[in-house]
Amino acid sequence: MKYRYLKNIVTLQLDAQKCNGCGMCVEVCPQQVFALSDMVSSIQDRDACIECGACAKNCPCGAISVRAGVGCAYAILMSKLKRKGVCCGDSCGCEVDPGLLGDSRDSIQESGVSSQEKG
């Protein structure tokens, strides 16, 4: 059974014009979001995207953009409160580094607005 999270929310974008068909995105995606046909990649299962950023980071053509981050409520809460601490109450042992989560903190407000717009 494949898990499904919220619909129509992820920031993943693919510019097929720039794609060279190397298939790296298909390879690195842990959620099988992409598929390759006729040497061009396309987004097959957009809502499965977890915004891990692996595809964008490994696309040699810069054809993919995504606001990458970790889907962890605890980390987001801590960074909103501007507290540096250990993420997930030790469960992953990740440290919340306000610097690393910095761009996601800025975009929290953006997406807060856009999600209301979408209703």
Residues lying near other proteins in the complex (CB under 8 A) = 1, 3-7, 9-11, 24, 27-32, 48-54, 57-58, 60, 67-77, 87-95, 97, 100, 104, 107-108, 111-112, 115
Angle formed at CA 36 by CA 67 and CA 10, multiple of 5 degrees: 20
Q: How far is Cα 71 from Cα 97, in angstroms, rounded to an integer? A: 15
Q: Least distance in Å: CB of 93 to other proteins? A: 5
Q: Least distance in Å: CB of 16 to other proteins? A: 19
Tokens 């690195």 sit on residue = 28
For the chain, give the number of residues.
119
CB 20 within 8 A of CB 60: yes
Q: Least distance in Å: CB of 66 to other proteins? A: 9
CB 104 within 8 A of CB 112: no
Q: Which is nearer to other proteins, 31 or 65 (CB)?
A: 31
